[in-house]
Structure 1
């Protein structure tokens, strides 16, 4: 990874973002150990009284974690999961029918007014409220039926990193216990070391290639869509680079008309049924002259070896691959921000906690 080239900026390994993201493996290991009994108890209750559906409520990076939750719960458990708009309870004050549902609120601070109002309304309507929260004495934690602490510790960089990965890990642990799946449960034990391996991956080709970029597409699908959403947000907030996230299927419904010679595209290919389709889209875009980077564990056909390959750490279960992809991405985006003359810890006009109503 390159060192910062702009005077007044910290070195690459001295930013808060770099050091906080590097803590993810230890955070996840401690979180799994601490929460195991509480999560197993909640999972047993959910098996005994299955909710008719799951509603998530979150904003920003936490909402990208909710996207991951949607795909993980639906693929592993077959329970329909939908994102509840925070404005329904806070701005419109519209009553919702959530009796018997599982309501998952995801928040770092646990004090955003709109999330609190929706959690209160969900509880009043008969939903079971589960809070994934980093601040354990927050208002959201106090009103929830069950709290799953993220345990990320203080996060001073405005850009969320370890707390985002901790959110994904908490979701994976809950689903693994809810399904009572020995394969996924065993895979969780390997996740901390896999995150360490992911942190060591060299994505400098991506950093080098985007120093002067102005626009970018980030593609993912299924379990990897939330990772693409998170990456697009980080490009904007830390690098001043306009990036949009799309499903590798949805991008063909209009947005791909923008992709031509030199247009940058970053593709996250999941090691599951969605992977071949993502790789096919990458090849199609490269054929149009786009600059394409592909993060994939799949072996590419040498005849189609057109995209720049970004190495991925091996995931013991496909459901955990997005965490490893994002961890490698965080190191690369920290370096890219500095190369572009931005301090990733202090994005302009942004605060660590955004309290929307």
Structure 2
């Protein structure tokens, strides 16, 4: 069944390609930014996209930190802003309460700040000027719950970051992989999630911020609560939860820690509801197999598509309209 959320989800390959058409202009702005120390500030999906970029930059030795914007406003000292070469304010709407408050409070400290947004015409964007605004070119997102804006925010930050690192990321190939993931059947995992309460999502590296976004998507769209752990974090105590026979969804993708992910999968194999999202050819009734061929820096991104599809279907099963807010709103106007 279609929904405004699913319509946004299906538009993601097009949104990625729209962004890539603007690649040269974004890179021209990126090379003008100093980047030995970088701070990302955002909320919700913008925060999780920033976490992804921070992992990438730190892997190249760049000091990249990430904080929730509201927490920074209330609990960090403004002197810290001067310690970073560039401060990224990440807000898809460009109009959230936290961003407006940050600009009001630190109006005299904005010289090293830039804005990443899907709304370069917002009143906050006009404060920065064209040279310090990075549009994500995701197009209009109709639904409550970020989908194409989340993916395009990650890619915009990676475009900027890879210009600094000198690494050529095959972002064109990513659009094809997202398109392929949209065709994957997720019915079996969806049914299992409907039957279970409080599922556990586990991953490593780049998949952790993706799973944090999956947690948000399941909450916003399907009103389902879940918990996210890193693979190592799960071994440090939370594995005791296995005695309750929870549903575990483990992401195991090619990369630095694939052997650790597969070891954890093997250790959990005697339990009933252990699922795996992988590109390693692990084919069984409880695996979701993604297309191979993406570098580790990109391979986790299509995973969010799996959870977008699942969240849409669970919402419909529960009688909710996917993407239609009941309590929250698309643009958060109150901290």
* TM-score, reference length from structure 1: 0.85
| Mean Cα deviation higher: 89-98 or 99-108 | 89-98
Structure 1 residue ranges without an equivalent (≥5):
1-11
- Helix, strand or coil at the partner of 1:293: strand
2:6–2:309: 8 Å Cα contact kept in structure 1?
Answer: yes
In 1, Cα distance between the equivalents of 2:111 and 2:251?
35
| Mean Cα deviation higher: 275-284 or 66-75 | 275-284
Q: 1:88 to 1:59 in 2, by over 3 A?
A: closer
Q: 1:85 to 1:20 in 2, by over 3 A?
A: closer
Deviations 1:247-296 (A, max 9, x none): 11112222222223531111122321122222222332333x25111111
In 2, Cα distance between the equivalents of 1:52 and 1:125?
19
In 2, Cα distance between the equivalents of 1:152 and 1:93?
31
Q: CA shift at 1:312, angstroms?
A: 0.8
Residue 277 of structure 2 corresponds to: 295
Q: CA shift at 1:236, angstroms?
A: 1.9
Residue 307 of structure 2 corresponds to: 329
In 2, Cα distance between the equivalents of 1:333 and 1:88?
28
Residue 244 of structure 1 corresponds to: 227
Q: CA shift at 1:146, angstroms?
A: 1.7
2:204–2:230: 8 Å Cα contact kept in structure 1?
Answer: yes
Structure 2 residue ranges without an equivalent (≥5):
none
Is residue 2:70 matched to residue 1:87? yes
In 1, Cα distance between the equivalents of 2:252 and 2:116?
27
| Mean Cα deviation higher: 113-122 or 345-354 | 113-122
Alignment of 1:97-108 (within 5 A): 97-99=80-82, 100-108=84-92
Q: 1:348 to 1:280 in 2, by over 3 A?
A: farther
Alignment of 1:45-64 (within 5 A): 45-46=32-33, 50-64=34-48
In the comparison of the two structures, how many residue pairs are matched? 332
- Helix, strand or coil at the partner of 2:164: helix
1:41 to 28, 44, 47: 28
In 2, Cα distance between the equivalents of 1:123 and 1:270?
43
Q: CA shift at 1:127, angstroms?
A: 5.6
Is residue 2:261 matched to residue 1:273? no
Residue 237 of structure 2 corresponds to: 254
2:144–2:221: 8 Å Cα contact kept in structure 1?
Answer: no
Residue 203 of structure 1 corresponds to: 186
Q: 1:71 to 1:93 in 2, by over 3 A?
A: closer
1:229–1:245: 8 Å Cα contact kept in structure 2?
Answer: yes
1:169 to 152, 155, 177: 155
- Helix, strand or coil at the partner of 2:43: coil
In 2, Cα distance between the equivalents of 1:340 and 1:139?
38
In 2, Cα distance between the equivalents of 1:122 and 1:283?
51
Residue 58 of structure 2 corresponds to: 74
- Helix, strand or coil at the partner of 1:110: coil
Is residue 2:11 matched to residue 1:23? yes
Residue 317 of structure 2 corresponds to: 339
2:120–2:135: 8 Å Cα contact kept in structure 1?
Answer: yes
Q: CA shift at 1:315, angstroms?
A: 4.0
* TM-score, reference length from structure 2: 0.90
1:152 to 118, 133, 138: 138
- Helix, strand or coil at the partner of 2:199: strand
Q: 1:279 to 1:352 in 2, by over 3 A?
A: same
| Mean Cα deviation higher: 97-106 or 84-93 | 84-93
Q: CA shift at 1:168, angstroms?
A: 1.3
2:43–2:68: 8 Å Cα contact kept in structure 1?
Answer: no
Q: 1:124 to 1:89 in 2, by over 3 A?
A: farther
Q: CA shift at 1:222, angstroms?
A: 1.0
Residue 9 of structure 1 corresponds to: none
1:223 to 206, 221, 227: 206
Residue 3 of structure 1 corresponds to: none
RMSD, matched Cα: 2.3
